[in-house]
A and B are shown apart, each in its own frame.
Chain A
Amino acid sequence: MSLDRDVVGELETIVGADHVRTGRGDLEPYARDATPLFRGVPDAVVSPRTAEEVAAVLRLATRTGIPVIPRGAGSNLSAGTLADRGGIVLVLTRMDRILEISPDELLARVEAGVTTAALGEAAAAKGLLYAPDPGSRTVSTVGGNVATCAGGLRGLKYGVTRNYVLGTTAVLPTGEIIRTGGRLWKDVAGYDLTRLLTGSEGTLGVLTEITVALLPMPATTNTGVAYFPTLADAGRAVTAVIGDGIVPATLEFLDAKCIGAVEEYANLGLRLDAGALLLFGDDGAADAVERNLTRIGELCTAHRAMEVTLAADVARSDALLAARRCSLPALSRLGTLTILEDATVPRPRLAEMVGRIDEIAERYDVPIATFGHAGDGNLHPTCVVDRQDDAAIERAHKAFGDVFAAAIGMDGTITGEHGVGAAKLPYLEARLGADQMALLRRIKAAFDPAGILNPGKLGS
């Protein structure tokens, strides 16, 4: 299917001919996001520069029934920007102005296409911290982060994207431009549409501008590492740390398979006899950070840690973090297809969940290694197979179906931070139930009566 010539002409009038692309070769690069195995070629790629242009495109789409798929950097892992029904991919990367960094009000106002890293740097230049730090922060956009409620490594202490969104400018599918929230920490006038739009995955409105809360930049950060004979020991140590009144900024774990893969790849000198590696870190005033890290080390030792190392300096701290940073690169080299999931369970059940994942992997005969955020129970079971091996891919999908079911059975969820998109929509009802699914659809219809905005995802 391709767009009517009149429609293309109208799009060109709205955003300028340079910013509407319909050639076969222009569309192909937008047929995928970062989700493996999903491909859908759009009919047009449109890059607006203002909220008004977005509004005009959406009015046209609502009138003609053409799907519109909002897209930032396309780094999502849920097929959330998949154009599997054709339509217009609306790329917001040209809206990349940082409008304001206010040290007085501790907030920043940015256009949706600003990258997370650019916001972080602009804030840091004024001694401020934008706390959410998703793994893709160098490429991901703030608009995409808000649309997916992106998480990151600092979830336990600092929360996730939703905890920092104060206000948005959003364009509704019917063309109205609304401003939700604003510059206020306290504002209970009306339903909390800011929170509703946060994590709505581009199905309710197109975010064009976002106001986020900033924090004072912590004076120091430091890191330590502990090895445990089993992941269950590491889990008990984490429970003990939090029970002791410490909320560390970083608490990351690698399972034994992950340690093996990282060591094979990067030769960091990791202990291969360990069942789990726990990375812990904190930030704040220097004396408090040192006190907390020392105490965490003691608690790890008390819970059967085989070895505990505290970083002596910043360079050493970076070296310790390298094990975590290398996890995905190391695992992805084991095959040509990497499926990275993010099932999440309550923190105390983390080790139990990893045990279940191992059983499931064995049952389906697929290699799954797990790393993730021990502080908030967010796991990243990662399956690596050969892209040409259909049978293995099929087994991997079945295995992940069981993983999601196991997570739900532990009061957990099918996705902690990646989102539902097209990839996890089939599993959503198991998590939410029929009543909530119906409510989601009614909410979707209230915002988008013509059903043009990112169809086949949330609310479908």
Chain B
Amino acid sequence: MTTDRVTGRGIFDPELLDRCISCGFCLPACPTYAQTLDEGSSPRGRINLMRALETGELDDDDSRLREEASFCLGCRACEPVCPAGVQYGQLLETWRDHQWSGRRRPPLAQLLMLVASRTPLLRAIGVVRRHARTPSVPAAPTTLMLGCFERGLYPGVSRSARALLPDIAVPADQGCCGALHAHNGESERGVELARRLGEQLPGVIVTTAGGCAAHLTTVLGRDRVHELSEHLVKTGASPVGRLSVGGRRARVALQDSCHLRNGMGVFAEPRALISAVADLVAVPGEASCCGAAGTYSLLRPRDSRRILDPKLDAIEAADLDYVVAVNPGCLRQLETGLRRRSSKVRAVHLADLLAAAAGGTPLPRGRRWTLPRIRVPARRAGAARITGGPTA
């Protein structure tokens, strides 16, 4: 019998690595495996790479090892389909901590983390962008989290959330939750920032970002963190009004937030809320990653677009008015992709959609400033494209 023990350098918790039974049930769930059909780009294959890193069979500089630590979206779609309960997200964080330590970390990720760690800077951006704000309430039962980049990119989302939850406290003095750090090779810093945010925001923290919710939950516990849709459903708030387009109910689809769905099991809630104010349309692939994946769309723009393109095809083919995101990264990704195609479909945050339905007000226009566009060569020849979305 061949011995196959995974013990060695102490990079990983052996218990977490051993949990994988290599059954391969994760393969069909993995967006990057679908791209390459190469085992190395699948969760099972990556766990085998981690095992080889742990045992020393592969050294830190192995090119494939480094490539896969970065190519993985970190969407965790492999977790709900895993019969053995492998905590892949946790393994990936540990892997990136090791693989991206020191100078190996992508400089852009380093820069973003640096910005997100500076609470006064976030605060200043937030003030300029006029996010929702209430005086600091030390004993508030629920507080709204503003996010680091969300308050700058989409300040209207916090205003909409406040309109839906008039009693919620929104102190301006709050930092980043640390999800960014946890996913980019600084998991200790990620935990530290989450703890600090937990001190800044007492009581239940309501967040409009699925990715932040999942990260905060791992540090502060499930009871302290509610994603917005979850909070609305849990507190029995029923959405009011309806959203019309040209005299009929709006046709709306949801793009799941991967970490909200796969990490927290929240996916029915946003759908229930949308159905209450509009026609909820199911779009193929709506539960799989849009390619935003935190910093991924910036670090690996070409791969990010390969993931996004078939999704945009499906969105355009479904004759939608709006596609709803429950995470700012997904919102930016969809917005940018749809704009690039001059699509008639608009990407909106769930908070904005619900607030617009309740207030009978039009949905806010997209953000007025954009991040610099990174030029990406056209798609690979041969990739199927469903046409049908009207182009302006």
Binding site for B on A (CB under 8 A): 21, 23-26, 28-40, 45, 47, 73-75, 82, 84, 91, 93-94, 96, 115, 117, 136, 138-139, 328-329, 332-333, 336-338, 387-388, 397
Let me know if B40 and A26 touch, CB within 8 A: yes
CB < 8 Å: which of B2, B67, B84 contacts A39?
B2
With a cutoff of 8 Å between Cβ atoms, the chain B residues found around residue A26 in the complex are 38, 40, 64
With a cutoff of 8 Å between Cβ atoms, the chain A residues found around residue B7 in the complex are 388
Complex formed: what's the CA distance from A18 to B249 in Å? 49
Q: Knowing A73-B24, A75-B24, A387-B18 touch, does A328 contact B83 (C-beta < 8 A)?
A: yes
Q: Nearest-CB distance from B88 to chain A (Å)?
A: 15
Does B62 make an interface contact (CB < 8 A)?
yes
With a cutoff of 8 Å between Cβ atoms, the chain B residues found around residue A117 in the complex are 28
CB < 8 Å: which of A34, A45, A115, A333 contacts B23?
A34
Q: Please name the residue on chain B nearest to A329 by beta carbon.
A: B83
Does B57 make an interface contact (CB < 8 A)?
yes
Let me know if A136 and B58 touch, CB within 8 A: no
Does B121 make an interface contact (CB < 8 A)?
no
* Residues of B in contact, count (CB < 8 Å): 41
Extra contacts, 9 of them, besides A47-B38, A139-B23, A387-B5 (Cβ < 8 A), are: A23-B64, A32-B4, A37-B4, A38-B2, A45-B38, A45-B39, A93-B37, A337-B18, A338-B84
Q: Please name the residue on chain A nearest to B27 by beta carbon.
A: A139
- Determine which residue in A32, A93, A94 has the highest number of CB atoms from chain B within 10 A of its CB, and name it: A32
Q: Please name the residue on chain A nearest to B37 by beta carbon.
A: A93
Let me know if B23 and A25 touch, CB within 8 A: no
With a cutoff of 8 Å between Cβ atoms, the chain A residues found around residue B391 in the complex are none
Let me know if A29 and B27 touch, CB within 8 A: no
Q: Nearest-CB distance from B299 to chain A (Å)?
A: 20
With a cutoff of 8 Å between Cβ atoms, the chain A residues found around residue B5 in the complex are 387-388
Let me know if B49 and A397 touch, CB within 8 A: no
Closest 10 CB pairs of A and B: A25-B64, A29-B45, A336-B18, A329-B83, A29-B39, A25-B62, A29-B40, A75-B24, A39-B4, A387-B18
Complex formed: what's the CA distance from A34 to B45 in Å? 11
Q: Nearest-CB distance from A74 to chain B (Å)?
A: 6
Does B139 make an interface contact (CB < 8 A)?
no
Q: Please name the residue on chain B nearest to A31 by beta carbon.
A: B48
Q: Nearest-CB distance from B20 to chain A (Å)?
A: 9
Interface of B is mostly: loop
Q: Nearest-CB distance from B63 to chain A (Å)?
A: 7
Q: Please name the residue on chain A nearest to B18 by beta carbon.
A: A336
Q: Nearest-CB distance from A454 to chain B (Å)?
A: 16
Interface bits B31-74 vs A (CB < 8 Å: 1, else 0): 00000011110101110110010000110001111011000000
Binding site for A on B (CB under 8 A): 1-7, 14-15, 18-19, 21-25, 27-28, 37-40, 42, 44-46, 48-49, 52, 57-58, 62-65, 67-68, 81, 83-85
Q: Knowing A28-B48, A29-B44 touch, does A136 contact B24 (C-beta < 8 A)?
A: yes
Let me know if A34 and B24 touch, CB within 8 A: yes
With a cutoff of 8 Å between Cβ atoms, the chain B residues found around residue A34 in the complex are 21-24
- Determine which residue in B24, B39, B85 has the highest number of CB atoms from chain A within 10 A of its CB, and name it: B39
With a cutoff of 8 Å between Cβ atoms, the chain A residues found around residue B52 in the complex are 25, 28
Q: Please name the residue on chain B nearest to A115 by beta carbon.
A: B28
Complex formed: what's the CA distance from A37 to B21 in Å? 10
Q: Please name the residue on chain B nearest to A35 by beta carbon.
A: B22
Q: Nearest-CB distance from A340 to chain B (Å)?
A: 9
- Determine which residue in B24, B40, B45, B85 has the highest number of CB atoms from chain A within 10 A of its CB, and name it: B24
Q: Nearest-CB distance from A250 to chain B (Å)?
A: 20
Let me know if A74 and B24 touch, CB within 8 A: yes
Q: Knowing A28-B49, A28-B52, A31-B48 touch, does A333 contact B84 (C-beta < 8 A)?
A: yes
Let me know if B28 and A24 touch, CB within 8 A: no
Q: List 26 A-B contacts (CB under 8 A).
A: A25-B40, A25-B52, A25-B68, A26-B38, A26-B64, A28-B52, A29-B38, A29-B40, A36-B21, A36-B22, A38-B4, A39-B4, A40-B2, A74-B24, A75-B24, A75-B25, A84-B2, A91-B39, A139-B23, A329-B83, A332-B21, A336-B15, A336-B19, A338-B84, A388-B5, A388-B18
Q: Nearest-CB distance from B44 to chain A (Å)?
A: 7
- Determine which residue in B7, B64, B83, B85 has the highest number of CB atoms from chain A within 10 A of its CB, and name it: B83
Q: Please name the residue on chain A nearest to B19 by beta carbon.
A: A336
Q: Nearest-CB distance from B82 to chain A (Å)?
A: 8
Let me know if A388 and B4 touch, CB within 8 A: no
With a cutoff of 8 Å between Cβ atoms, the chain B residues found around residue A38 in the complex are 1-2, 4
With a cutoff of 8 Å between Cβ atoms, the chain A residues found around residue B18 in the complex are 336-337, 387-388
Complex formed: what's the CA distance from A75 to B15 in Å? 22
Let me know if B25 and A136 touch, CB within 8 A: yes
Q: Nearest-CB distance from A381 to chain B (Å)?
A: 16
Let me know if A23 and B48 touch, CB within 8 A: no
Let me know if A332 and B48 touch, CB within 8 A: no
CB < 8 Å: which of A29, A37, A93, A336 contacts B3?
A37
Q: Nearest-CB distance from A444 to chain B (Å)?
A: 22
Q: Please name the residue on chain B nearest to A138 by beta carbon.
A: B28
Q: Nearest-CB distance from B24 to chain A (Å)?
A: 4
Complex formed: what's the CA distance from A74 to B24 in Å? 7
Q: Nearest-CB distance from A164 to chain B (Å)?
A: 22
Complex formed: what's the CA distance from A33 to B15 in Å? 20
With a cutoff of 8 Å between Cβ atoms, the chain B residues found around residue A94 in the complex are 37
CB < 8 Å: which of B6, B42, B45, B85 contacts A329?
B85
With a cutoff of 8 Å between Cβ atoms, the chain A residues found around residue B15 in the complex are 336
CB < 8 Å: which of A24, A75, A84 contacts B64?
A24
